[in-house]
Chains A and B, each alone.
Chain A
Amino acid sequence: MHSVFYSLHEFMLHTESLTYLVMLISLLGFLGFFLFLTDRDDDQPEDTKPGRHGHH
């Protein structure tokens, strides 16, 4: 899939377009990852709750 480019404009158009797509997919993926990471936070045992030192 090694594309041939005849001008810097072609190269930039190609790579920037792909970068925007990657960013979009990454943002959605990051949202899913964040939910995966934090969805059990409410079930934390009392002794590992982050706010146990006076943040309540």
Chain B
Amino acid sequence: MSTENTAPNSSKLTPFNLIAGLIVIVGLFITVLRFTKGLGAVSNLSNHSPWGIWIGFDLLVGVALAAGGYVTSAAVYVFGMKRYHSAVRPAVLTGFLGYLFVVIALHYDVGRPWRLPYPFIVGWGTTSLLFEVGLCVALYLTVLFLEFTPAPLEWLGLTKTRNLAVKLTMVLTIFGVVLSTLHQSSLGALFLIAPSKLHPLWYSPYLPVFFFVSSIIAGLSMVIFEGSLSHKAFHHKMDATHLQESDGLVLGFGKAAALVLAGYFTIKIVGITAGNHWHLLTSPYGYWFLVELLGFVALPCLLYAMGAREKNLKLIRFTAAWTVAGIVLNRLNVSVIAFNYHLPVAERYFPHWMEIGISVFMVTLLILVYRFIVTRMPILYGHPDYQANH
């Protein structure tokens, strides 16, 4: 275990730092343009496509991949799988930062970001799904912050406040699961209003169910994927418990992901059957749908199962990365690629390079903040003063 940074390389001029620095500079430049010249100067958003990749990637993918927080907390605290306890703090941190950057990215996308709190303080749009999503995300971000606080409080040596925060763990976990169930599904339900715009293969009355179930897959896969990356980058920060529990975590979450993927595949097939859309599978969009369904749902399901059967950790870790890519593809398909599918190509939305720049900027900032926190706070190891409480 190491409670101090024992990184072998202390040089700041690493290739990662240089690339990240360059992205941050470009990101700040685009940010100034966005908030001084408006949306039109930096994006290809239009009345046809008011939601681009800032919603499709930053928000929909961000929220789905941040599901590791509620999935891991629920597994450990609600279902009593204490053997995965060491994964809770990294998962909650990833979830917290994921949601934090979702909210930050949202400020770029909405026309008048200073009005974001209006639904809560001016008019309660209780019949709107978007209001429900906004409220749930705001509340869940607060819950994730409170779930995360024991780590910084241990770091700061504020024992009494830390003990109080730890006492709230169970109630926060339950609150987090309820809020996640609500808004993960509601993000899918947002598209129920556009049956004529979203391609029938992706549109389904079951969209909320698809989004919720796939968020569990995203959460499980993201915990494995992020754990693998942390293992490579922050191995020196991990304590014996973390290293010991890591393999069991990969196997357990891999097996769970295989089961949920099998269920997800089934309900996707039910979705096609209930809508009678089999004939659309032979169209170009149908082939693209099959790429997603077979390549990024059925294939990882089998690979996870094979990995779990044969205790092949490498295969499970690879599959986790593949599944994360599949979640990205699914959310982009629903919100961008298969959206407005009937429009002529010239009128279709394609993101401006500055939109992509902001998304890359957000991901880079998230990684930098994550690195800042895990190299200082007890995330990947138990703080020596609180070992008995872990």
- The interface of chain A, by Cβ under 8 A from chain B, is 1-3, 11, 14-16, 18-19, 22-23, 26, 29-30, 33-34, 36-37, 39-40, 44-45, 47-48, 50, 52-53
Contacts and interface: CB of A to CB of B under 8 A. Distances in A.
Contacts of A47: 247-248
Contact of B273 (A18, A40, A44, A50): A18
29 contacts: A2-B279, A3-B276, A11-B276, A15-B274, A16-B274, A18-B273, A18-B276, A19-B273, A19-B274, A23-B270, A26-B266, A26-B269, A26-B270, A29-B266, A30-B262, A30-B263, A30-B266, A33-B258, A33-B262, A34-B259, A36-B309, A37-B308, A39-B309, A40-B309, A44-B311, A47-B247, A47-B248, A48-B251, A50-B252
Nearest to B245: A53
A48 B309 contact: no
A45 B278 CA distance: 45
B224 to A, nearest CB: 15
Nearest to B262: A33
Which interface residue of B83, B247, B258 has the most chain A CB atoms within 10 A?
B83
A33 B311 contact: no
Contacts of A15: 273-276
A47 B275 CA distance: 47
Main secondary structure of the interface of B (DSSP, over half): helix
A37 to B, nearest CB: 5
A14 B276 contact: yes
Nearest to B267: A26
A23 B262 CA distance: 13
A50 B276 contact: no
A53 B276 contact: no
Given A33-B262, A48-B248, 9 more contacts: A23-B270, A26-B269, A26-B270, A30-B266, A40-B309, A40-B310, A52-B83, A52-B248, A53-B83
